[in-house]
């Protein structure tokens, strides 16, 4: 036994090239995994593991299939020879070919995933930029592209969901936003997601679910000590009370929202709160307060260049004049609202204004 061991190690030593090649194989396998993981550096760990496991399986199958003929040829050569070196060379040669094919495959997979991630990220950025500029049709296309390229991105599903909200496709929005909810653990992101899901349910007339999600939004924003987010949630809850016909409670909540937004220095939030409060005063037939808050809010959103809320302000003024039987002024403001909604691609709200107030 002792002599056999010596002969074996002498064999390895006599062919240092084989021994070195085995070390290279180990190094290549390790470096391949390191390179692959670095190519997915922007992904969460659980997504890296899922993608790596799938790619590894596919690349193993590819390497085995592609090297089969070569390995069979080496195996036949080894079988026909009594020389130990020939047999070892056959094994290491087959392993080397398989490892080379596997490494090339994994690098290609990693590059493709990274490229896909970069493209997906670019489309997500485009989507949010289009949303910010209120170009909803372009945001829709970018959002769809982002989801297709990067299906595990919370940002892709979130942006597409918000775009659907803006375009009036509320059921589709809820679906995308609930997908985004599952893909994030960020409280900041969840607060935004719950706000939009609540808004979707609110616009669908499902006030119980709307209130459920707005309450979730409020709880998260208070946990984060985010006055701006808390104000937004309170504003949303006020809107549900307004729809339920409890206008006095709605006024109470809108005033709380204004106070919080002013403390936080949130000019845009304050403007939205004022328009909402003015609209509620119209419902209460307190026309002087309604006109005061609507005027303040409309001037503020116009300064901001917020065309969506400017259109909502024109709609609110139209309602104020309509209930006071000033039909000429009402039509003028409803027409302004309709045209502006159409300009920004919000055909859903444009159609609502037309059907309810402009259609003869």
pLDDT tens sequence across 35-83: 445 444 444 554 556 666 777 777 778 778 877 777 787 777 777 777 7
Predicted confidence (pLDDT) at residue 206 exceeds the cutoff of 80: yes
Nearest to 289 by CA among 334, 325, 260, 320: 320
Q: Give residue 64's pLDDT.
A: 80
Alpha-carbon distance 136 to 341, whole Å?
11
Residue with tokens 């398989």: 98
Nearest to 225 by CA among 188, 267, 258: 188
25-29, 237-241, 286-290, 344-348, range with the lowest pLDDT: 25-29
Angle at 31 between CA 28 and CA 35, to 5 degrees: 135
Average pLDDT, the chain: 82
Instruction: Report the Cα 61 to chain-centroid distance in Å.
Output: 34
Other Cβ atoms within 10 Å of 293 Cβ, number:
24
What's the CA dihedral at 324, 326, 332, 338 to 10 degrees?
Answer: 40
Q: Phi and psi dihedrals of 76, rounded to 5?
A: -65, -40
Predicted confidence (pLDDT) at residue 118 exceeds the cutoff of 50: no
Alpha-carbon distance 280 to 286, whole Å?
9
The mean pLDDT value for 329-337 works out to 97
Alpha-carbon distance 108 to 32, whole Å?
11
Joined together, the tokens standing for residue 252 give: 């109470």
Nearest to 268 by CA among 319, 228, 238, 323: 228
Give just the sign of the alpha carbon dihedral 53, 59, 64, 65. Answer: positive
pLDDT tens sequence across 241-275: 999 999 999 999 999 999 998 988 889 999 999 99
Give just the sign of the alpha carbon dihedral 333, 339, 340, 342. Answer: positive
Q: Which residue has the higher pLDDT, 171 or 29?
A: 171
Q: Which residue has the higher pLDDT, 206 or 42?
A: 206
Confidence of residue 194 (pLDDT cuts 50, 70, 90): very high
Joined together, the tokens standing for residue 301 give: 């959103």
Predicted confidence (pLDDT) at residue 13 exceeds the cutoff of 70: no
Alpha-carbon distance 129 to 146, whole Å?
13
Residue with tokens 């993981």: 37
Nearest to 8 by CA among 101, 84, 105: 84
Confidence of residue 106 (pLDDT cuts 50, 70, 90): low
HEC string for the chain: CHHHHHHHHHHHHHCHHHHHHHHHHHHHHHHHHHHHHHHCCCCCHHHHHHHHHHHHHHHHHHHHHHHHHHHHHHHHHHHCCCCHHHHHHHHHHHHHHHHHHHHHHHHHHHHHHHHHHHHHHHHHHHHHHHHHCCCHHHHHHHHHHHHHHCCCCHHHHHHHHHHHHHHCCHHHHHHHHHHHHHCCCCHHHHHHHHHHHHHHHHHHCCHHHHHHHHHHHHHHHHHCCCHHHHHHHHHHHHHHHHHCCCHHHHHHHHHHHHHHHHHHCCHHHHHHHHHHHHHHHHHCCCHHHHHHHHHHHHHHHHHHCCHHHHHHHHHHHHHHHHHCCCHHHHHHHHHHHHHHHHHCCCHHHHHHHHHHHHCC
Angle between helices 227-243 and 247-264 (to 10 degrees): 160
Cβ contact 150:116 at 8 Å: yes
């Amino acid at each position: 036994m002792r002599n056999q061991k010596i002969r074996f190690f002498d064999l390895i030593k006599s062919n240092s090239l084989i021994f070195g090649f085995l070390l290279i194989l180990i190094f290549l396998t390790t470096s391949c995994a390191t390179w692959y993981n670095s190519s997915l550096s922007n992904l969460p760990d659980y997504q890296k593991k899922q993608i790596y496991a799938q790619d590894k399986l596919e690349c193993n199958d590819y390497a085995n299939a592609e090297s089969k003929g070569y390995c069979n040829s080496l195996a036949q050569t080894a079988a026909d020879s009594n020389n130990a070196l020939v047999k070892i060379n056959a094994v290491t040669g087959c392993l080397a070919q398989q490892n080379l094919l596997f490494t090339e495959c994994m690098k290609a997979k990693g590059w493709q995933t990274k490229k896909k991630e970069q493209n997906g990220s670019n489309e997500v950025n485009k989507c949010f930029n289009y949303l910010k500029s209120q170009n909803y049709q372009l945001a829709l296309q970018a959002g769809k592209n982002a989801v297709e390229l990067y299906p595990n991105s919370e940002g892709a599903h979130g942006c597409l969901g918000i775009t659907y909200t803006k375009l009036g496709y509320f059921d589709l929005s809820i679906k995308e936003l609930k997908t985004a909810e599952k893909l994030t653990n960020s409280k900041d992101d969840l607060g935004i997601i719950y706000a939009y899901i609540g808004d979707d349910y609110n616009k669908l007339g499902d006030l119980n679910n709307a209130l459920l999600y707005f309450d979730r939004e409020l709880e998260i924003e208070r946990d984060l000590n985010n006055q701006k987010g808390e104000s937004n949630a309170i504003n949303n809850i006020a809107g549900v009370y307004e729809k339920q016909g409890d206008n006095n409670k709605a006024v109470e909540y809108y005033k709380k929202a204004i106070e919080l937004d002013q403390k936080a220095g949130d000019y845009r939030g304050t403007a939205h709160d004022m328009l909402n409060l003015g609209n509620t005063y119209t419902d209460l037939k307190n026309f002087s307060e309604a006109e005061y808050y609507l005027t303040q809010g409309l001037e503020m959103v116009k300064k901001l260049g917020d065309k969506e809320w400017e259109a909502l302000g024109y709609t609110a003024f139209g309602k104020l004049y309509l209930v006071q039987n000033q039909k000429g002024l009402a039509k003028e403001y409803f027409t302004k609202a309709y045209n502006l909604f159409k300009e920004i691609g919000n055909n859903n709200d444009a159609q609502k204004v037309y059907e309810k107030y402009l259609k003869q």
